[in-house]
Amino acid sequence: MQPDQNRLSHAFVSAQDAVEFNRQMSSAGWNLEFLSLEQAPSRLTVEAAQSQDLIIQKAYFAGRLRQLGVAPAGFITVGMALDRVDGLVFGNRGCTSNDLMSFTTNVGLDAITERGYRAFTISVRENRVEEYIESQQMSGIDLRGFSSRSVSTTLPEFHKALRITLAEALGSARSGAPRERFDSDFDITGQLLEAWSAQNSITRYQYAASSRRRNKVIEYINANLSEPLSIDSISRECAIGRKTLERDFKSHFGLSPKRYINLKRLSAVRKDLLSTTGGPNIQAIVNG
């Protein structure tokens, strides 16, 4: 059963740790890997409202996380923090509370968030955005901007207005009240485009040398997670100095490489255990 085109369906998902959260969210079309950067499990929640052309998600993450993933195919997807942010890194850039983060680039979702992080994610179907641009004669806006820039720092008033509209849409979905398609899809699409284009600054994502080194190491760790891994062997195989390796991980994750490996292994064990059990399916909940 597809979501009603004129109604926002509602769902709420809560998980005690990142592994279970990944599993639940993957059923909604997201290819995610959220890795807890803390030893103890921490709660993750998401409230979602969805129509055929629009997905709104309000997330709360109690613990410190590394977030990687791919947004739903065929959608323009943008994230925005709900509070003043401390330590938020998206791609290779520290972000402010007025930043909009595009998951539509080839980078996708690549973020590190601190404890107590709250954010909205908005996904609008690409042809719906194109339809709005054409109907409103917004010739100055190009969809390529969402794929060429990972971060846009918008004006505070536009950021605030978009937050209020998204909160109202979630509230409507939560109460089950019908909303006209124009109100839910077109209004939010228009505000998103206005906020994205009302920039204080534009930052293009470029992989710095430290990012390339770190990604090379992470790929090696992922490919050899079941094997004995020492810092010296990683340094040797990836042709990266030990001190440089440790400095890169400490500055980006706040963790040593050894600590990161241990957390990855714990996450893999948890994932294996959960693979033999059932769990809630967010898509089934959204579709009723």
H/E element holding 83? none
Establish how many alpha carbons lie within 13 A of residue 77's alpha carbon, considering only the half-sphere containing its beta carbon: 20
Where, residue-wise, is CATH 2.60.120.10 in the chain?
Answer: 9-203
Residue with tokens 């709420």: 12
**CATH superfamily of the domain spanning 9-203:** Jelly Rolls (2.60.120.10)
Beta strand ranges found along 4-144 (DSSP E): 9-15, 31-36, 44-50, 54-61, 65-70, 75-81, 89-90, 93-94, 99-102, 109-113, 117-125
For residues 156 and 126, is the Cβ–Cβ distance under 8 A? no
Task: Report which of 44, 52, 53 is spatially closest to residue 14, judged by C-alpha positions.
Answer: 44
Where, residue-wise, is CATH 1.10.10.60 in the chain?
Answer: 209-274
Tens-place pLDDT, residues 83-138: 888 788 887 778 888 899 998 877 788 899 999 999 999 999 999 888 888 877 77
Tens-place pLDDT, residues 177-210: 665 443 566 778 888 988 888 764 433 333 445 6
Separation CA 52–CA 59 (nearest Å)? 21
Alpha helix ranges (H) inside the chain: 18-26, 126-135, 144-148, 156-175, 181, 187-197, 209-223, 231-237, 242-253, 257-274, 282-287
For residues 77 and 71, is the Cβ–Cβ distance under 8 A? yes
pLDDT at 284 over 60: no
Task: Report which of 36, 108, 66 is spatially closest to residue 265, judged by C-alpha positions.
Answer: 36
Tens-place pLDDT, residues 138-154: 766 777 778 878 888 88
Tens-place pLDDT, residues 216-257: 898 899 999 989 899 999 988 988 888 888 888 887 788 889
Would you place residue 28 in the very low, low, confident or very high pLDDT band (cuts 50, 70, 90)? low
Establish how many alpha carbons lie within 13 A of residue 41's alpha carbon, considering only the half-sphere containing its beta carbon: 13
pLDDT at 61 over 90: yes
Separation CA 42–CA 38 (nearest Å)? 8
Per DSSP, 102 falls in state E
**CATH superfamily of the domain spanning 209-274:** Homeodomain-like (1.10.10.60)
pLDDT at 210 (0 to 100): 64
This prediction's pTM: 0.74
Separation CA 173–CA 48 (nearest Å)? 9
Q: What angle do CA 246, 19, 253 make, to 5 degrees?
A: 20
Task: Report which of 125, 132, 129 is spatially closest to residue 143, judged by C-alpha positions.
Answer: 129
Burial environment of residue 72 by CB neighbours within 10 A (0 to 12, 13 to 18, 19 or more): middle
